[in-house]
Amino acid sequence: MFSCILFDLDGTISDPKQGICGCVQYALRSFGIEEPELDRLEPFIGPPLAESFMKYYNFTAEQAQEAVEKYRERFSVTGKYENVLYPGMGALLHDLKASGATLAIASSKPTVYVEDILVHFGIREYFDIVVGSELDGRRVHKEEVVAEVLSQLAARGESDPDKMVMIGDRSFDVEGAKAIGAHCIAVSYGYAQPGELENAGAEIIVRDVEGLRSVLLGGTQAGNSAQAGSGTQAGNSAQAGSSAQAGNSTATGSNTLSERYRGSAAKTKTKSGQFWSAVGTSALAMFAYYVISLLISSAILTAISVVYAIGLQELEGSSYNFWLNVASALSTFGAFIICYGIWHKKIRFHSTKEIDKLSIVPMVILAAAIAIGMNGVLTLTELYRFSPTFQRVSEMQFDTPVWLGIISYGILAPLGEEIVFRGVVYGQLRKVLKVPYAVVLSGLAFGLFHGNLVQAVYATVIGCLLALVYEWYGTIAAPMLFHSVANLFVYVMLELLPFGSVFLSVPSCVLFLVLSAGSLFLLWMLQGKAALRQKG
């Protein structure tokens, strides 16, 4: 049990999205900037406001300060109350206080607003120390805030960092704990970007308030929740589950958090455990997508057979392939809907990354060029001769009306496969592996899923590029667009145009592969550099 527990406020105790992002909208509007999507403003939650305005909108220092003043114009009246406690947080604070711990707030938000919010929720009584930034611009960085908390704790005779823990949802909170040599528990239900907490070196990462309770109190039940504050409001936890994950230890002291709590009710996971958990989730998503597609397709084909009152194979070749393609399209759509419903909370739809709009041009060129180039390589090497399955699949896929081919392979397949293979598989692997390893493993999974040699080689290469696109852009919409362009370009250029075979010659193959390499480099230069600028 820690004697001193420091809490961040936004994204840790309460969800401030509506208030903070709404006030950022208000401030931007005063500069003639309209930003209708609150999700795009989530990076403003946590860091100092002025720095965020300069970082994300290229404001000068003077403009950023003016924007902060406009922000506070709305926040001081309305925004600070557009806020909800995370479920179970009031009861947890009550029980921590009852256990004898000293509780403190260490927030980058101005202290005057922090005080108002704590009183509003009826939880001010639980905190012995409340420290935030100052309205005049002093003490805005988390290291300064945490240092002030430590100073006040020292005045109370409680200055042993090994008995302190900082709890927060961003890398700034982890770094603040490191600055004073305290332990750190990170919460993933807040507003950290994928991999942010792990890279910052959080010792333990918990997925919800119950996971936090398990670490701090050993899984004891909530006390009298009525005493947790009459102003407690219920919000929605961003992630389900109550397990805690062990990260890399960075705090000083005789033992780490993961050592201290290993085997306790917190059920901390080793890195190996995290890896296999990610692999298991990925395998489950792939299996579900396959089985759901198979069941829906089988049901549709059975229904068609009943309607025709004959075996489906007795239809003429084109009719047979047409109904197979119809069944494939509908099963893909059904699998997409179901998998989206199950795993959508694990997938990044709204990017918090800086996006260079010009980079979309080389991305589209890369998608088209690599698709044609890889088809040329596979054709020239005659790899299809070793895969009878591919020949049957290829014959079926392209013996279909143009409209159905476009819908099935240009729209539905990219939607369904990206939700599963980039959204879930790459997303899970990225949490436990560095980018190159996650890219390659997810690409291999995508290739093997296709079940024949030719498509396995093609899909592995395309899958690696799709994972990179997802990583660089931070939104599933990017690989969906890439995938759709690649599929449509192959379908139109190779199958619909009478001169399509010219694209499969050696000179054409070399040309498209060189174009692919150049486009990939340019894409990295534009969007990859934009992502690096945002991090730096």
| Helix/strand/coil for 494 | helix
More confident residue, 260 or 193: 193
Cα radius of gyration rounded to whole Å, the chain: 27
Q: How confident is the model at residue 163 (pLDDT cuts 50, 70, 90)?
A: confident
Q: Which of 40-44, 158-162, 287-291, 495-499 has the highest mean pLDDT?
A: 287-291
Q: H-type helices in 58-182, by residue range?
A: 61-75, 89-98, 111-121, 142-155, 171-180
pLDDT value for 435: 86
CB 516 within 8 A of CB 373: yes
Tokens of 398: 């392209």
Q: How far is CA 409 from CA 88, 178, 287, 423, in A?
A: 46, 50, 20, 19
Q: What is the mean pLDDT of residues 145-150?
A: 90
Question: Residue 268: pLDDT above 70?
Answer: no
The string of DSSP codes covering 152-207 is HHHHTT---GGGEEEEESSHHHHHHHHHHT-EEEEETTSSPPTTHHHHHT-SEEES
**Within 10 A of 311 (CB to CB), how many other CB atoms are there?**
8
Lowest mean pLDDT segment, chosen from 307-321, 351-365, 405-419, 486-500: 307-321
pLDDT value for 258: 46
Tell me the per-residue pLDDT of 46-73, one tens digit each, with 9 for 90 and over: 778 888 899 888 899 899 999 999 999 9
Query: 14: part of which helix (H) or strand (E)?
Result: strand 14-15
Give me the percent of the chain exceeding a pLDDT of 70: 81
Tell me the per-residue pLDDT of 331-375, one tens digit each, with 9 for 90 and over: 999 999 999 999 887 787 876 566 778 899 999 999 999 999 998
Question: Residue 102: pLDDT above 90?
Answer: yes
pLDDT value for 455: 87
pLDDT value for 79: 87
pLDDT value for 165: 93
Please provide the average confidence, as pLDDT, over all residues in the chain.
81
What long-range pairs does 522-528 form, CB within 8 A, spacing at least 24?
522/359, 522/362, 523/359, 523/362, 523/363, 523/366, 523/469, 523/472, 524/472, 526/356, 526/358, 526/359, 526/362, 527/355, 527/356, 527/359, 527/363, 527/472, 527/473, 528/472
| Helix/strand/coil for 85 | strand
pLDDT value for 38: 83
Q: What is the mean pLDDT of residues 212-232?
A: 53
Q: What is the mean pLDDT of residues 77-98?
A: 90
Give me the percent of the chain exceeding a pLDDT of 90: 39
Question: Residue 484: pLDDT above 80?
Answer: yes
Closest CA to 343 of 293, 286, 410: 286
Question: Residue 235: pLDDT above 50?
Answer: no
The span from the CA of 366 to the CA of 513, in Å, is 9
Lowest mean pLDDT segment, chosen from 233-242, 333-342, 480-489: 233-242
CB 262 within 8 A of CB 268: yes
Tell me the per-residue pLDDT of 505-525, one tens digit each, with 9 for 90 and over: 889 899 999 999 999 999 988
pLDDT value for 438: 92
First and final C-alpha spacing in the chain:
36
pTM: 0.55
Q: How confident is the model at residue 459 (pLDDT cuts 50, 70, 90)?
A: very high
Q: How confident is the model at residue 397 (pLDDT cuts 50, 70, 90)?
A: low
Q: Which residues are catalytic?
A: 8
